[in-house]
Amino acid sequence: MVVVDTPQRMQEIANKLKREGKSIGFVPTMGYLHEGHLSLVREARKHNDTVVVSIFVNPLQFAPNEDLDRYPRDFKRDEQLLENEQVDYLFYPTVENMYPQGFQSFVEVEKLTKPLEGRSRPTHFRGVTTVVLKLFNIVKPDKAYFGKKDAQQLLVIKRMVEDLNLDIDVVGMPIVREEDGLALSSRNKYLNEEERKQAVCLYKALLRAKELIETGVEESKKIIEEMEKAIKQYELAKIDYISINRLSDLEELQKIEKNNTLVSLAVFIGNTRLIDNMWF
């Protein structure tokens, strides 16, 4: 595996791969890799000649009050994990290389970014789409892989790719969970022992929604009330939002729509904000 630390060098490599007719599968990450990331890497490895993974903790997508400075990092461990997965190139740029002095261009997906995460984190998706478009232009992937745990991020990136006519296939991959159901996330590292136990409440609430939907309950209000009850059994949990939205446009739904419904939630466990979702 070759570690590449400048956008210019990565672009030269991508251009050469293209000239040679090699397909490029790309997994953008912020590092501190877990099995969720590795499932994306394995999928990319299966379907592409070349696999590129990026590690870049993108300051643009963190608000000033968020966890940019303490976001977990462990480059050596990540490098070894990616080496084990036979990744070809690890793109690991610095903030100065990605956002040199004078940088002032941004990408904004207007409507899809407003509800859910956008309500709590109004500047987040502008940072995500800006860095992802930059990464796409640098790495020139044929296919790019994202986890469904960040469901809204996946939908926003798909929208950007369609709206801006990018010739990239965006692949969404299933959420990978711990044995008790907690969705894998680099932020789980912030949880202490008791918080970690109680963090399962997000999954428990989603299971409750699933149970209700499968027994024919359709009203969002009823499902959300039951999910709230499930969360309130955990004393360290504080709900940020629970929401039921149409998958295609993220409009709030009064009633479940078959094969087009996203049930999602964000919950603080102590000081750590976790998100999770299920697609119905």
What positions carry a catalytic annotation? 37
Task: Please name the amino acid found at residue 213.
Answer: I
Helix (H) / strand (E) element for 13: namely helix 7-19
Q: Give the binding site for ligand PAF (CB under 6 A).
A: 28-30, 58, 61, 128, 131-132, 150, 153
Nearest CA to 115 out of 214, 249, 206, 225 is that of: 249
Q: Distance (Å, rounded) from C-alpha 75 to C-alpha 186?
A: 13
The CB-of-61 to ligand PAF minimum distance in angstroms stands at: 6
Task: Please name the amino acid found at residue 122.
Answer: P
The CB-of-216 to ligand PAF minimum distance in angstroms stands at: 35
Nearest CA to 121 out of 67, 70, 61, 183 is that of: 61
The CB-of-100 to ligand PAF minimum distance in angstroms stands at: 18
Nearest CA to 47 out of 173, 196, 187 is that of: 173
Rounded to 5°, the CA angle 81-82-83 comes to 90
Task: Please name the amino acid found at residue 168.
Answer: I
Between β-strands 261-269 and 272-279, what pairing exists: parallel, antiparallel or unpaired? antiparallel
- Choose between 14 and 156: whose C-beta lies nearer to ligand PAF: 156
The CB-of-194 to ligand PAF minimum distance in angstroms stands at: 27
Question: What is the DSSP-derived secondary structure letter of residue 62?
Answer: S
Task: Please name the amino acid found at residue 233.
Answer: Q
The CB-of-161 to ligand PAF minimum distance in angstroms stands at: 13
- Choose between 108 and 194: whose C-beta lies nearer to ligand PAF: 108
- Choose between 44 and 132: whose C-beta lies nearer to ligand PAF: 132
The CB-of-190 to ligand PAF minimum distance in angstroms stands at: 16
Contact (Cβ atoms closer than 8 angstroms) between residue 271 and residue 190? yes
Q: Distance (Å, rounded) from C-alpha 26 to C-alpha 146?
A: 9
Beta bridge partners of 27: 53
- Choose between 145 and 234: whose C-beta lies nearer to ligand PAF: 145
- Choose between 142 and 223: whose C-beta lies nearer to ligand PAF: 142
The number of beta carbons lying within 10 Å of the beta carbon of residue 77 is 12
- Choose between 182 and 237: whose C-beta lies nearer to ligand PAF: 182
